[in-house]
Amino acid sequence: MSNLIAVDAGGTSTRAVVLTPEGVCRGYAAAGSGNPISSGPDHAAREVAGAVRSALHHAGGGGADGTTVLAMAGARTHASTDWITAALREIGVEGRIVLESDLLATFCSGAWEPDGYAVVAGTGSAAIRVRDGRQDLSADGLGWLVGDDGSGFWIGRRVVRAVAAQLDRRGPDTELTPRLLAALDIPNDASAGPDGDGRPEALRLLLEAVYGLRPIELARFAPLVFAAGADPIAESIVADARTALHTTLSAIDTRSVRGPAVCGGSVLGVLGLSVHGLSGVTEVRTVPDGAVGAAVLALRDNGVPVDRDVFERTRDTLAALRATAS
């Protein structure tokens, strides 16, 4: 084994790491969405292979023949690696390709310990319990329509509905209204539109804009709740999101699995995780993504035990590479 390859393939961006079996990261590169479910297999394969090729190049060239790890959402239900095999072979990456859960990669990005929890809230939301280094129970991650409580979509939907309710006289005034209308380039004009139903033109334009999006894109309005200051509506959405994520983690929390809760995702990074009343969580750690964890999983899947030393070497050498890459 010379080079090992680890990929953290997300819905908006992908990170590829080239590392030695000792956990020294030697190459790093990022690319666009590498998730075959959300972006289509052809697009995802191009992005993943592109990131790996750049990372190999930065590592000084050469291929890789160990087990390659690809951490991504939906790894459990979409077990096939057919979509990516040929693209990796073409750039000299031989050997087995193993899919791992993005949540497990989040956990391993922040913990070398075998037991603990990971909680992610970005566009969606989910939590897992990790025992002996493997995911043994998960909670939520059920998607925008059925679950994803406290996620970016969940918050963004609440924002849109609160603003529409104000414009429709059904809900209280909120600071979210001028902010959402500005985000959508809609003039914040309360006068009635030409429709003749007595409602402001801004409401009609809001409906037109929102129904022109895919539902999941409402997640882009989540950050507005963090910028709205002391607005009671924004504050109640934030409080409810925090409670929802606490409930999700509570569902899998147990005294018999004690360890850190590793937090990931842009929304959770701002919300912060409450661990009040939980019995298994010993501390909270936050990571920017699953890149370190994908590298840790690549080491383990190649038979390398990852203790605290190896974990810290992997984490710190990757951080150094990323500092120069950006």
Binding stretches for a copy of itself (CB under 8 A): 76-77, 128, 135-140, 142-143, 145-147, 149, 157, 160-161, 164-165, 168-170, 195-199, 203, 206-207, 210-211, 215, 218, 247-248, 250-252
Q: Which is nearer to a copy of itself, 198 or 305 (CB)?
A: 198
Which SS3 state, helix, strand or coil, does residue 167 take? helix
Q: Report how far residue 160's alpha carbon sits from residue 229's, in angstroms, rounded to the nearest whole number.
A: 17
What angle do helix axes 152-167 and 176-183 make, rounded to 10 degrees? 110
Q: Are strands 14-19 and 68-72 parallel, antiparallel or unpaired?
A: unpaired
Shortest spacing between CB 123 and a copy of itself, in angstroms? 16
Shortest spacing between CB 276 and a copy of itself, in angstroms? 16
Q: Which is nearer to a copy of itself, 165 or 325 (CB)?
A: 165
Q: Which is nearer to a copy of itself, 24 or 142 (CB)?
A: 142
The HSE-up count of residue 324 (CA atoms within 13 Å, CB side) is 11
Q: Which is nearer to a copy of itself, 47 or 140 (CB)?
A: 140
Q: Which residues contact 130 (CB under 8 A, 6 or more apart)?
A: 104, 107, 111, 114, 115, 116, 117, 118, 136, 257, 259
Six token digits for residue 60: 């000084």
Q: Which is nearer to a copy of itself, 98 or 165 (CB)?
A: 165
Q: Which is nearer to a copy of itself, 153 or 311 (CB)?
A: 153
Position 157, amino acid = R
Q: Which is nearer to a copy of itself, 130 or 295 (CB)?
A: 130
Six token digits for residue 19: 């590392």
Shortest spacing between CB 308 and a copy of itself, in angstroms? 27
Shortest spacing between CB 206 and a copy of itself, in angstroms? 7
Shortest spacing between CB 76 and a copy of itself, in angstroms? 6
**Bridge partner residues of 97 (DSSP):** 68
Q: Report how far residue 223's alpha carbon sits from residue 211's, in angstroms, rounded to the nearest whole number.
A: 20
Q: Which residues contact 97 (CB under 8 A, 6 or more apart)?
A: 67, 68, 70, 81, 84, 85, 88
Shortest spacing between CB 12 and a copy of itself, in angstroms? 21
Residue with tokens 């859960």: 101
Residue with tokens 């990372």: 55
Six token digits for residue 168: 């429709």
